[in-house]
Amino acid sequence: MGVSFALIAGQNVYLHRAALPRRDALVAALSGLAAGAIAGALGQFVFSGTTNAPGFVVGIGRLAGWTILGALLGLGLAFFVPNLKPSRGALGGAIGGAVGAFGFILGALLLGDVIGRWVGAAVVGFCIGAMIAWAEVAFREAWLEIRYGPKEHRTVSLGNRAVVIGSDREACTVYLHSAPRIALKYTLREGAIQCEDVPASRVFDVRPGDVRNVGSVAIAVCAASAPAVRASSGTSTSPTAKAAPAERTPEVQAAASSPSTSYNGLVLRLPGKRIPLPEGVKLTKADIAGLETTSSDGAVAEVVRNPANPDVLGLKNLSLKPWSATTPTGEQRQIEPGKSIKLAAGTKVRFGNSEGIIE
């Protein structure tokens, strides 16, 4: 029950919800009690009759009990983690329970049976939570990045079950105190990401890189690969959830849609427009006013990989003048022609007469 309480409370706090509402506390108590009873009974069944058996045989009973417990708790947690498939929750929980079992066995040997059980429970709870988080991230297709500020982001997986954003703590997946009761709903169906603007009564498809502001919080759509967009898709805005659709030239659209292109959902917000920043995209004088270049294609900036660290993307200065940048930590940098600034949410860049911010 304690592990169940901790896992559910941690998930709720992560999404800015109340830690343990009455309903969640009741579910955690009942599910934790049931999982413990089933795992304990099955583990004891394996454990029984091994009193005089070798130590490793005794350990098998304990390992079985913790593994079953982890699988059952992971299965139950799938109802609280948005779009976590029960099978993946159970798999992550089982692996976490098995790994944690060794912590229990080691704790019992070093600290005695009673203290060892408490240490073991803590290790098992940590491992179950870590493995469920791994299972969620490793297999997800698309997700939302909730940006409360430059240093506070949350991610929520998308799937058939709607991710609801608003100020109703009971009805919403993600709680935003300054939002309408229900502001936005996101789902992933038939390979397409769908957004419902509830106050405006509009439903439309969105692509990775789409950013919508609800109060001071930005909701960004991200995906491992570019989902399809149905022909009927559209865009909309409302006074309560103002959409800032990304501006896409054909070159930007092609780069963002390519399965081989690295794209983390970041966009460059400039006055009156938002431009996605997938790997390889080039920004021209038409995108950033006031910059000059000698390039034949008119490019003044390009998203490139860091040669020293290929996992890092940067915005390279192809213009004739240096840029001035302010990183999320407040560091001031001068970006000379031919040099790059790392793509990071919250970075501000002044391109001559205009200023943009990476979101």
Ordered structural domains, the chain, with CATH: 2-139 (no CATH), 141-244 (2.60.200.20), 246-359 (2.60.200.20)
Q: CA–CA distance from 202 to each of 189, 208, 218, 241 (Å)? A: 17, 19, 19, 11
d(CA 89, CA 70): 9
Q: pLDDT class for 233, splitting at 50, 70, 90?
A: very low
pLDDT computed for residue 230 by the predictor: 47
Q: What are phi and psi of 337, to 5 degrees?
A: -55, 130
The 10s digit of each residue's pLDDT in 33-45 is 988 888 878 777 7
pLDDT computed for residue 51 by the predictor: 56
pLDDT above 90: residue 163: yes
Reduced to 3 states, what is the DSSP secondary structure of residue 329? coil
d(CA 323, CA 51): 74
Closest by CA position to 155, among listed 140, 139, 144: 144
The 10s digit of each residue's pLDDT in 60-78 is 777 888 888 888 888 888 8
d(CA 124, CA 4): 11
Average pLDDT score over the chain: 80
The alpha carbons of the chain give a radius of gyration, in whole angstroms, of 25
**pTM, rounded to two decimals:** 0.57
| CB-CB contact of 28 with 5 (8 Å) | yes
The 10s digit of each residue's pLDDT in 72-131 is 888 888 888 888 888 888 888 888 888 888 877 787 788 887 887 787 778 878 888 888
* Mean pLDDT of the 202-213 span: 86
Position with higher pLDDT, 307 vs 250: 307
| CB-CB contact of 96 with 74 (8 Å) | yes
pLDDT above 50: residue 287: yes
Q: pLDDT class for 225, splitting at 50, 70, 90?
A: low
pLDDT computed for residue 322 by the predictor: 92
Position with higher pLDDT, 237 vs 21: 21
